Amino acid sequence: MRKKQRKDYSVYLRKSGIKAKDGKLAYISQENHNRISMIVNVLGEGRLTIADYLENVLAEHFRIQREEINRMLDAAPKIRL
């Protein structure tokens, strides 16, 4: 079972192709930074950056949750300026 979990998790452990100059700054807690840093260093075997990991986690989240997010956005009040 552990091997399957690693295979499933590998979606997050790949180069994202994002370059720092093309991205945006985001702040995270020190606790989450420490966790992500450990994951990237150990599981990413020195090949990943924190930005790669975060980009992969967010992309997978949006892929999985797309329908629910769109449903909620459709139900949200429309705002006009």
Helix (H, G, I), strand (E, B) or coil at 76: coil
**For residues 13 and 18, which has the higher predicted lDDT (pLDDT)?**
13
Say how far apart CA 51 and CA 69 lie, in whole Å: 23
Domain ranges of the chain: 23-81
pLDDT tens digits along 25-47: 889 999 999 999 999 999 999 89
Mean pLDDT of 51-78: 95
Which pLDDT does position 20 carry in this prediction? 75
How far is residue 80 from each of residues 51, 52, 76, 77, measured CA to CA in Å? 34, 35, 13, 10
Which pLDDT does position 37 carry in this prediction? 96
Query: At 60, which helix (H) or strand (E)?
Result: helix 50-75
Mean pLDDT of 62-80: 94
Mean pLDDT score of the chain? 89
